[in-house]
Structure 1
């Protein structure tokens, strides 16, 4: 096990929060209610859709112009840094998700994690 994991991630997260760096990041998930157990399997279920907003802390950073000029990322791509300890336990973020931050909705293009496990870094596009 790496010495960078665990307690260091929590320390980094707490330091950023104490410095008022992060703000609310939301990953909304929309699902359909389950049918009752006696619902016929051949009949479509007209259940209601339910959206749950998974809230966490993070911040949005623009990519450096050199990366855009080199074609590594596109103009308008952003880096969304999420503090791992603030991610709800039941949530696994995937590239099929969208993220809401700063009043905008972003589509996740790529996901990475820092070696300390303190942050999750998303490349996203509005």
Structure 2
């Protein structure tokens, strides 16, 4: 299932991840915004109608978990998928899922799996 014309926000402090994930979804008809940390992400959320968000679990300054909790208060229906580092961060992932995250992917996820996780979150 493709989500053409959907709008995504990707928040990650690694430029390579932002560029790669953005390209994957833009090639499939998505409109994609990116932010390197929480404050610019909050500005984008205020100005744009975001359909889904990919959020790094570890960010400089405010952590991805803190940002997730704040966003879910203001936008409870926004599906947010956490992005984890290459090692499994079970405790942080569990906290994110308990705080309302729709799922998670690792930074080395395959394109097929990334699209599948996003489509599943959008279908809920």
Query: Do both share a fold (TM > 0.5)?
Result: no
Structure (1 or 2) with the greater strand fraction: 1
Query: Does 1 or 2 have the higher relative contact order (CA < 8 Å, sep 6+)?
Result: 1
